[in-house]
Amino acid sequence: MDDKWYTQKGVEEIRLRIQALIERGARQEGVRLDSYPAVWFDGSSAMPSKGEPWKVEVSSSRMKASESFPPDELGDYMEGLLSGVPGKVRRMVAALKR
């Protein structure tokens, strides 16, 4: 993943894009997410370390689902390339329906 994503602005841009993807998937599946946004990096405010997976957790009515995204996968998604990110988000949302 390009270094530009390891800046405060880059991390925020990724978080916003993935949050929008999560919300869109939840609407399509009829899942009502809890009112607070997804929790990234186990709630830490620290910047992610290069090469480490980016963990995100979402919740709905006491149910939780999480996924880890490898940096290269996130970088490809942010650049508009084929990526496993949408599939992982679909699996997270589907896990909240159970």
Indicate the burial class of 31 (C-beta count within 10 angstroms; 0-12, 13-18, 19 or more).
buried
pTM of the predicted model over 0.85 = yes
* Mean pLDDT along residues 16-41: 91
Residue range 17-34: average pLDDT?
Answer: 93
Q: How far is CA 27 from CA 2, 10, 73, 97, in A?
A: 31, 26, 24, 12
Q: Is the pLDDT of residue 56 over 80?
A: yes
Q: Measure the CA–CA gap between 68 and 34, rounded to whole angstroms.
A: 20
Q: Are 15 and 9 in contact (CB under 8 A)?
A: no
What's the domain count of the chain? 1
Beta-ladder partners of 67 = 56
